[in-house]
Amino acid sequence: MPALLHLDSSASPLDRSVSRRLTARFALAWQARHPDADYRHRDLAADPVPLVGAGYASLGIRVERRAAPVPLPDVHTLATTPDEQHEWSLTHPLITELHAADTLLLGVPMYNFTVPAALKAWIDRITFPGAHTGRLTATRVVVVTARGGGYGPGTPREPFDFQTPYLRAWFTEHLGIPDAHLSFVHAELTRAADIPALTPYRALATTSLDSARTTLTTLAGA
């Protein structure tokens, strides 16, 4: 049965967040197509994933030093302190939740040229040594970004987009997601309606948002 894991990371509520509204659009269309499927939503801003601590690091190093891969259900046996046990209790459910999904949907506003800290905390915690080896090759990932300015190809700010290359490298090179299974949908110039300096770009902002909506509807039906 299909399963969708939907992650939002915007600090803004739904009525003020472009990324939240766009991911909601995908999720509703996907659920309409799969009415009996498993759907899980995690709000990383409202319910933050704890930052990794010393126990996470020491347990991860111990796992990496093993000659053979350690199955996820056995990692807890290597935890030697209460701190390590606690860190693994926070980590294992998130990894299991990701593995159970065949589609991962991320809402990612651009904060200071990159991803929100709320999303980075989730990324750091689930990137446990050996956790995803060979498991995510069939997973489909849809990344929905919202940028207040314009960072598309050919724009002056294109070199400052550290969002897309970072997430592409993490998903493809680190998690093993095939590039063909990774889709980026960008809403550009989302602040054109309220920042005076961006007023000349309001039409482009509307076009970008309309394109993102259309693309997400198509992807949800794929």
Q: What is the CATH number of the domain that holds 85?
A: 3.40.50.360
Going from the C-alpha of 39 to that of each of 29, 143, 169, 209, the distances in angstroms are 12, 17, 26, 25
pLDDT band at residue 180 under the 50/70/90 scheme: very high
pLDDT band at residue 222 under the 50/70/90 scheme: confident
10 is in an annotated binding site: yes
Q: Are 88 and 59 in contact (CB under 8 A)?
A: yes
Percent of the chain scored above 90 by pLDDT?
Answer: 92
Q: In this predicted structure, what is the pLDDT of residue 135?
A: 85
Range of the domain at 119: 3-220
Query: How far out from the chain centre does Cα 47 lie?
Result: 15
Average pLDDT over the chain reads 95
In three-state secondary structure terms, 187 is strand
89 is in an annotated binding site: no
Among all chains, which residue has been given the structure tokens 């991860």? 60
Range name among 76-80, 154-158, 165-169, 214-218 with the lowest pLDDT average: 154-158
Is the predicted pLDDT of residue 1 greater than 80, yes or no?
no
26 is in an annotated binding site: no
Residue 194 is given by DSSP the state T
- Selection from 144, 4, 127, 152 nearest residue 63 by Cα: 127
DSSP 23-50: HHHHHHHHHHH-TTSEEEEEETTTSPPP
pTM passes above 0.85: yes
Please write the tens of the pLDDT for every residue from 104-145.
999 999 999 999 999 999 999 999 999 998 889 999 999 999
Please write the tens of the pLDDT for every residue from 53-76.
999 999 999 999 998 889 999 999
58 is in an annotated binding site: no
Segment 79-94 shows an average pLDDT of: 98
In three-state secondary structure terms, 143 is strand
Q: How many CB atoms lie within 10 A of CB 128?
A: 22
Task: Report the domain count for the chain.
Answer: 1
Q: Are 107 and 21 in contact (CB under 8 A)?
A: no
Structure tokens at 52: 């990794």
Among all chains, which residue has been given the structure tokens 């993102």? 212
Please write the tens of the pLDDT for every residue from 181-213.
999 999 999 999 999 999 999 999 999 999 999
108 is in an annotated binding site: no
Among all chains, which residue has been given the structure tokens 């347990």? 59
112 is in an annotated binding site: yes
| DSSP E strand boundaries for 45-102 | none
